[in-house]
Structures are given as structure tokens and as C-alpha cells.
Amino acid sequence: MQTLTEIRRLLAAASLKPRKRFGQSFLIDGNLMGKLLELAGPVDGRTVLEVGPGTGSLTEELLDRGARVVAVEIDRGLCQLLRRRLGGRDRFTLIAGDVLAGKHEISPAVVEAVGPTPHLVSNLPYSIATPLLAECLLLSWRSLAGRGDCLVQQLTFTVQQEVADRLTAAPGSGAYGPVSVLAGLLATVHVGPAVPAPAFYPPPRVGSRILRMDFRPDRAVQLTGGDALMATLSLAFGQRRKQIRSILRRKEAPFPSDALARALATAHVEPTCRAEQVTPEQYLVMANALGSA
């Protein structure tokens, strides 16, 4: 695993510096990188999606452990560095560009490259962590529903503590939000060790956490209205401090107010409660009702 000295040398030789624009903070604590790999489990023979490989420290470990690695890097300078260092390695594919084709879509080139059943193992750039994780779960749901061909079976990653809190938040807590509902419905979340700011170069302003999410097909098949779910969550949490019945009056709502009222009743959601008090299971019932309306 690359030390801080080695990472600085590699960057200096390529006339590069970490870029805040891309949320770049490189994990330099070898013990914690080992914990990340330990939580990910065996990768020999698996296809692994790594987003934001940086100088390739984690990439090299994954390759040495027998993984086929599809690395996605948006920084052109780092792409050149990675090609020089790892371009000749078997089982290594580099995609230069953004892993997200839009706010709600993973790049088709990435989906094609990773194949049908990849795992994600990454020190995720902070700037894209939440939308990427959400889209991986939705991509897997669509594949299970016959609307896609890429099911991300497992996601192991470092992420800032705030995002980790949202992924594991229970209803009624301040951190509970759309991604909490999505993770609660479609995955089992395993909480790994905390990662303090000095474990990164450059150190971010906040601490991080290692997590693993296992996609749950048995739960995912219960959701028939995935697109309706995301629309409902956006609507409900758009004004999270208001009573949830306020969504019935929202002009931008993609559903008729009578359909929303029936969905609330079907899910046994009290109109006077707020978005953060509605359980993932109730959101699922609402979404299925709206999706079939």
C-alpha cells in the first residue's frame, strides 16, 4: 500500500496536486485500507468497480488479490498516472470520465464495462458518494425487475461520517432522509471502523467511516414502484419540516392529489406526521400504490 511519501512523490513527478473540485482525499493509513479490504471480503475472480482510484494504491491491492478492476477516474492527470503505472496489468480497465452520466444515472460505459454482477470497493470521492450509492441500489433494483443488466451485489467503501449516518439512520432521527429509506429497503448495511481525518491526504475537515452494503434481492422484489418511490421521497423530504399532508397541495407533484391521498391511507401514514417519521416500509407501500395507479 502506498505511503504518504510515495503518494506525494507520484503526484509531484506528474506535476499533480489533490483537487478539492473532485473531493480528492487519498487514504494513506495502511491499517485502515486493510480493514476496508477485510470488510469487502474475498475478491479473487470478481469484477470490482473502483471509483476515484487516485494514485492506484487500493487498485494495486485489489489486483494483487485477484480481482478484475474497472477503475473510473475523472481527473485527466491521474488517468495518465494510472495508465503509466497499471496500464500493463492484466484485469485492469481504466475509464476516464465521470461515473455519473447525470444526477440520476450511472454512465452507460461504466455499466457495460463492469458486466452483470460487479462489486464496488472504493474510497469514494465525497462529492459524488450519496448519488452514486443511491444509483447503484436503483440500478440493481431495475436489473432484478428485468429493466437492466447490472446488479451490484455488494458495496464496500469509505464515506464521510455524515453520509454514513444518513445511510444507517432510523425514522425520527435528524439524519433520516431519502438515502436512509433506500438503503433500508434495498440493502443490509454493515458498519465498519471510523476513519479519522489524518488517515487521508490531504486531511478532510470531517471524519469518515467504512461501510458495506449488501444488496437484498428478497427485499427488492417487494418494491414494484421504484421510480414512484424516488419521486415520493423527493416530494416528501423537499419540505421535511411540514406535515406530510402538505404534499397533496404541491403543484410540482407528479401524482394527482387524490392518488397521493389514497397512497397515504393505504400505507397507514397519518397526514399530520412529517417525512422523517414515515418508515421505509410505509414509503414502499406508498410507492407501490402510486406506481400502479
As a whole number of angstroms, the distance between CA 155 and CA 137 comes to 9
As a whole number of angstroms, the distance between CA 192 and CA 34 comes to 12
- Cell digits of residue 157: 467503501
Mean pLDDT of all residues in 128-139: 96
Mean pLDDT of all residues in 260-265: 94
pLDDT of residue 112: 97
Residue 245 has pLDDT above 70, yes or no: yes
Residue type, 212: R
Taken in order of first residue, the domains within the chain and their CATH numbers are 4-220 (3.40.50.150), 226-291 (1.10.8.100)
What pTM value is reported for the model? Answer: 0.94
Report the half-sphere exposure of 18 (CA within 13 A, side-chain side): 20
Q: Of 55, 48, 69, 47, nearest to 27 (Cα)?
A: 55
Packed helices 4-13 and 76-86: angle between N→C axes, nearest 10 degrees:
110
Pure H helices in 150-225: 161-167, 178-186, 217-220
- Long-range pairs of 44-49 with CB within 8 A, sequence gap ≥ 24: 46/118, 46/119, 47/114, 47/115, 47/117, 47/118, 47/119, 48/118, 48/119, 48/120, 48/121, 49/110, 49/114, 49/118, 49/119, 49/120, 49/121, 49/122, 49/152
Mean pLDDT of all residues in 42-60: 97
As a whole number of angstroms, the distance between CA 233 and CA 290 comes to 12
Out of 90-104, 203-217, 239-253, which region has the weakest mean confidence (pLDDT)? 239-253
pLDDT of residue 293: 58
pLDDT band at 105 (very low <50, low <70, confident <90, very high): very high
